[in-house]
Each structure stands twice: as structure tokens, then as C-alpha cells.
Structure 1
Amino acid sequence: MHLETSGPSDGRPLLLLHGGGVSGWMWQPTLERLRAPVRALVPDLPGHGRSASDDYRSHRETVDALVLLLEQHAPSGAVVAGFSLGAQLAVLLASERPDLVADVVVVSAQAKPLALAGPTVAMLGAAAPLARWPRFARLQAKELFVPESLLPAYLEDSSRISRATLVTSVGENLRFAPPAGWAVPRSPALVVAGARERALMRDSARILQAARPGSELRILEGVGHGLPLQRPALMAVMLDERLRAPAAG
């Protein structure tokens, strides 16, 4: 995976995991607004952005790669935040390798598997070429609250994404359910959803919070599916709260 790092080498490690169909650039507005000094680790997930040459194969394979990344860059643990697809990966990391996750912020993660995921993914596969059509991509960018300054990056990512990556990543997303390890709270957790997201997303946030004792739930008024781009200042405030908390150990 392509990895961008920034910030002081002695800053608190912060791993940011983007959503499907975008890449690490989506965290730029949030990073610009953070007050806490961090060592930011921002990968482009497989099949996305500058990692587009390797298709997205599974959550399992991606989590394994993220574990290696954290073992190399943050062996004592990082604050991990993820959005949508990246939020599901953050849940898996916190569940399977709590020694590498000091705190986890889960934003807009679907956690209720869809009964008709197969037909939905098949339809998506048939429509995959639309992602490369600039007009369609601009409509999708609007749904994600991509600002005009980052629209060229979004359009470039849309032109790169393969049908295999689109079908596999969405299929994994639609079938996702919290793993058993999520119920063992070995690090703090904040679960976030927007009040203007689909009911499925708000229900998913409640499921994730209820499944993890001691975790916190926030349903944010006026926020849709795109918090880091729609309200980056608010996203930064929530991350600053976690980053300023004493690190475990």
C-alpha cells in the first residue's frame, strides 16, 4: 500500500483509513485542523488512489497489511480512525490486534449485513463503468461532500478504480458484521454516525456501540455520509479529544 506520513517523528501515531472509492487525500481537511501534534499515517488502501494497481481482495488481506504497517510505524500502538469501508477495517484492527490500537474512532461503518448483498453487488458490477464517467463521478462526489479543491483528486481516483475492486470492496462492506473480538474492550472506542445518514447507518452505529462495553456513541445532527469532508473541523475536534487522552501504558 502507498503510505503518506506527516508530522513530527515523536508525535502520537494516528492511522487514518479512508472510505471506498476515495483515497488518503480525504483526510487532508481534517489533518489541517488538528491541534494535537501527530505522526499521521495515511495509506491508500488496495485498489484505491496510488495503490490502484493492486485490486482490493478482501478485508482480511487488507487488515493483515495494516497490521504490518502498524508494527513497523507504531509498534506501541496508534489512535486509529476510519470512515465507512475504513471504519470497518478499524473495527477489525481493534478486535484482532488491540496491542496496536490505543484508541479507535469508527465513523459511518455499516454493521448490519444485507440479506440481498449478492444481487446488489451484481448490479453494481454491471454499472461499474459509470465510475469513470466524469459527470457521474461529480454526482458521487457531491454525495460525499467532496470540496471543489479536492474534486480533481476524486475524479482521478474514480478513473483508476477497477471493476474488481469496486465489486469486492462493496461486497465486503455490505456483508460486514462486528467480529467477536469487538465485544472485548481492550481500548477506548468512539462510534459516530450522521443524523442525516440512512437509518441503516445509524442502526449500525448503535449495534457497534452496544456490542462494545464502555464505548461511546455520537449521532451528529446535520451530518450525512461524509463527516471528514463535510465537517472536517468537527472531525478534528473529536480526534483531538482522543489524541490528548493519556496513552495506555
Structure 2
Amino acid sequence: MHIDRYGPERGTPLLLLHGGGVAGWMWEPMRAHLDEGHRILLPDLPGHGRSADQTYTSHDDVIPALEELLEDEGRPATVVGFSLGAQLAVLLAAQRPDLVEKVIVVSAQAIPMRAVGPMLAVLSATAGLARQEWFAKLQARELFVPPEHLDDYVRTSAGISRETLLNAVEENLRFTPPDGWRHFPGAALILAGSKEKTLMRRSSAALHEALPQSEREIIADCGHGIPLQRPAWFAQRVESWMR
């Protein structure tokens, strides 16, 4: 995986995991408002952005690379994940609590969908749309991608292979919290937008119920894309919660 690192080497590690269809650049609007003392780790997940030459196969295949990244830092990190990346954040916290001190889960689906097969068949037949600029711009609007990153979104969308798209979407649709999640000893903050699909709000409730000591918030007037829709607010929320 391509990984960008910012901030002092001995700063508090902060791992930011992007969602499906975007890449590490999605955190730039929020990162501009973060304290410079953090050690920020910003990967492009397999199949996305500058890691587009690697196929996204499964969550289980990505987790070891993220574990290695955190092991190299040598101290527990705060992990922030959005959508697909939020599912990875849950898995990391559940499987390696020695590496994850705190976790912020943003808009993670945690209730598996029914009829995944037919949905994937439709997606496979229409996957080529993601390479069309007009379609990518429509999708960018749904994620609240700011104008200065529209070209990044269009380029990322065009670079995602059909195999990566289908694998990532299937993992997302079938995801359920692992058993280890209910035993995570660290702090957890679970966020969803009030204007997201009902499934996303129900998923945030399911994650909270499985880990009762976690905090859950529904963010008013936000859709699926809180870090991009309200980057300054989100950065401030991350900072205050980490303290």
C-alpha cells in the first residue's frame, strides 16, 4: 500500500482509513484543521488511489498490512475510519487492541444486506459507469467531495478495477462486527449522519450495543460523508475526543 506520513515521528499516531471509491486525499480537508503534533498515517487502501495496482481482495487481507504499519510505529494509535475504512477500524480494534488505543467509527455498515448476489450482479453489469466522468461527478456530490478535490475523485474512480469494486462492495454489504469488538478495552466513538440511510443509523446502534462503553452520536443535518461535509467540525471533534 502507498502510505503518506505527516507530523513528528514521536507524535501520537493517528491512522486515517478512507472509504471505498475514494483514497487518502479525502482526509486533506479535515487534516488541515488538526494539531500539527500528531503522527498522521494516511494509506491508500489496495485498489484505490496510488495503490490502484493492487486489487482489493478482502478485509482480512488488508488487516495484516495495517497491523504491520502500526507495529512499525511502536505504540498504540487512534484509528479513524470512514465507511469501508470504518469497518477496517472495527476489525483492527477487535483483533489487535494492543495496537489500537482509541477508535472512531464513522458511517460503518454493520448489518448485513440480504440478496447480496443479485445486487453484485447489477453492480458488475454497470461497473463501467464509474469510469465515466459525469457519473463520477454525481457520486462525488453524494459524498460531499469539495470542488478542489473533484479531480482527485474522478481520477480515483476511474482507476478502480471491476474486481476491486465488486470485492470491496461485497465485503461492505456482508460485514458484521467480529466477536472481539465487544471485548475491545479502549475508547470508541461511533458516528453517523442524521440524513444517512436508516440502515447506517441502525448499524451505528448495533455497534454501540455490542460495545456498551462506546459513545454514539448522530450528527444533525449530515449525510454519508461527515469528514468531507464538515471537515473543520470533524477535526475539532476528533481532537476534543482524543483529549
Asked if 1:120 corresponds to 2:119, the answer is: yes
C-alpha separation in 1, matches of 2:42 and 2:184: 25
What is the match of residue 26 of structure 2?
A: 26
Q: Which moved more, 1:168-177 or 1:178-187?
A: 178-187
Map 1:1-249; keep pairs closer than 5 Å.
Answer: 1-35=1-35, 37-73=37-73, 75-244=74-243
Shift of 1:72: 1.0
Equivalent position SS for 1:27: helix
Q: Which moved more, 1:139-148 or 1:2-11?
A: 2-11
Shift of 1:76: 1.4
C-alpha separation in 1, matches of 2:89 and 2:240: 18
What is the match of residue 247 of structure 1?
A: none
C-alpha separation in 1, matches of 2:71 and 2:10: 16
C-alpha separation in 2, matches of 1:157 and 1:36: 27
Does structure 2 conserve the Cα–Cα contact (< 8 Å) formed by 1:185 and 1:214? no
- RMSD, aligned α-carbons: 0.9
Does structure 2 conserve the Cα–Cα contact (< 8 Å) formed by 1:185 and 1:213? no
Aligned residues: 243
Shift of 1:213: 2.4
Shift of 1:36: 6.0
Does structure 1 conserve the Cα–Cα contact (< 8 Å) formed by 2:7 and 2:36? no
1:7 maps to amino acid: G
Shift of 1:243: 2.9
Does structure 2 conserve the Cα–Cα contact (< 8 Å) formed by 1:36 and 1:240? no
* Percent identity of paired positions between Structure 1 and Structure 2: 54
Equivalent position SS for 1:98: coil
C-alpha separation in 1, matches of 2:197 and 2:78: 27
Equivalent position SS for 1:53: coil
1:108 maps to amino acid: S
C-alpha separation in 1, matches of 2:199 and 2:65: 29
Query: Could you state the TM-score of these two structures normalised by the residue count of structure 1?
Result: 0.96
C-alpha separation in 2, matches of 1:90 and 1:159: 26
Shift of 1:64: 1.2
1:88-120: CA deviation from partner (whole Å, max 9, x where unpaired): 000000000000001000000000000111111
C-alpha separation in 1, matches of 2:233 and 2:170: 30
1:218 maps to amino acid: E
1:192-243: CA deviation from partner (whole Å, max 9, x where unpaired): 0000000000000000011002100000000000011001112101210233
Query: Could you state the TM-score of these two structures normalised by the residue count of structure 2?
Result: 0.98
2:97 maps to amino acid: P
C-alpha separation in 2, matches of 1:174 and 1:159: 22
C-alpha separation in 2, matches of 1:192 and 1:172: 20
Equivalent position SS for 2:104: strand
C-alpha separation in 2, matches of 1:170 and 1:189: 25
For structure 1, the residue ranges without an aligned partner over 5 or more in a row are: 245-249
Equivalent position SS for 2:103: strand
C-alpha separation in 2, matches of 1:50 and 1:197: 29
For structure 2, the residue ranges without an aligned partner over 5 or more in a row are: none
Shift of 1:35: 3.0
Equivalent position SS for 2:98: helix
Equivalent position SS for 1:33: coil
Does structure 2 conserve the Cα–Cα contact (< 8 Å) formed by 1:12 and 1:243? no
C-alpha separation in 1, matches of 2:9 and 2:59: 29
C-alpha separation in 2, matches of 1:118 and 1:221: 34
Equivalent position SS for 1:90: helix
